[in-house]
Amino acid sequence: MESERGLVFFMPYKQGMETISSIPCSFNSYENQAPGNLNQNKMQVEIWSDIVCPFCYIGKRKFEQALEKFPQKDKIEIVWKSFQLDPDASSTGTDYQKNLSARKGWSLEQTQQITKNVTDMAAEVGLEYHFEKAVAANSFDAHRFLHLAHKNGLQDAAEEALFNAHFTEGKNIADPALLVQLGISIGLNSDELKNMLESQAFADEVRADIEEARQLRVSGVPFFVLTENMPFQVRKTLKCF
């Protein structure tokens, strides 16, 4: 699928947990059209994701596994972009499964079976999910946190820490104290973190990502976009989801 930004090449999840996607997806490897181009260019992959999306964490692992088999992986620059599946979620946090059941109109038993299936899917890539203690919370401040981490060259570590806190440890990712704790653990400055959380810093950047996703007609995440104007041709495809 072509877009004004580049080539959209990986979209394993369409909104709605009722369908565990079997849509084939791939990480494409490339060869340059002219000798030496690969050494002179980096490929940027932009990933629209939401911290509360279970398929986004799974997709992250799948992408990392595929990237490990890509000969020019050191030429890949990854940028995480903001997306909110539930922008009206409370910041105080509620029971994840009960919240999902209410939002989707499912019975609690149906919701528990669906989340068990997703837990099994996560285990296949080495992730440990605990939906029974997960907290449904608004992810807006977590996305601001990710933009601060990007500014400091720590965005991927921040994304991993947030996913783990949410899906494995059952933490409220809207809690400022947790965001400070996670930020310090990955090397962010505590004063800069607190100042960001006490202000509206990076709020415009989060909204801009969400608006860009709307323009790209993103209906679900994770959504991967290869940056524009790259002089490479697809050579082979590796299935990753």
Cα diameter, the chain: 58
Whether pTM > 0.85 for this model: the answer is no
Query: What pLDDT does 230 receive?
Result: 47
Domain encompassing residue 206: 6-239
Higher local confidence (pLDDT), 49 or 73: 49
Position 87 scores a pLDDT of 96
- Once rounded to an integer, what is the mean pLDDT over residues 112-137? 97
Higher pLDDT, 96 or 45: 96
> Does residue 228 belong to any structural domain of this protein?
yes
40 in a domain, yes or no? Answer: yes
pLDDT over 70 percentage in the chain: 77
Residue 40's pLDDT is 54
1: in domain: no
Domain membership flag for residue 208: yes
Cα–Cα dist 208/150, whole Å: 15
Q: Quick one: pLDDT at residue 78?
A: 94
Nearest residue to 213 via CA among 47, 12, 56, 19: 47
Contacts of 236 (CB under 8 A, 6+ apart): 28, 29
Note the pLDDT of residue 44: 84
Whether the Cβ atoms of residue 63 and residue 240 lie closer than 8 Å to each other: yes
Say if 72 falls within a structural domain: yes
DSSP state of 235: E
CATH code at position 189 = 3.40.30.10
Q: Which residue would you say has higher pLDDT here, 189 or 74?
A: 189
The amino acid occupying position 216 is L
Domain count, the chain: 1
> Which pLDDT score, from 0 to 100, does residue 172 have?
98
Considering only residues 27 and 214, tell me which one the structure prediction assigns the higher pLDDT. 214
- The predicted-structure confidence for 138-189, as pLDDT tens digits, reads as follows 999 999 999 999 999 999 999 999 999 999 999 999 999 999 999 999 999 9
**Is residue 116 in a domain?**
yes
Q: Is residue 167 assigned to a domain?
A: yes
For 139-207, the DSSP string reads -HHHHHHHHHHHHTT-HHHHHHHHHIIIIIS---TT-HHHHHHHHHHHT--HHHHHHHHTTTTTHHHHH
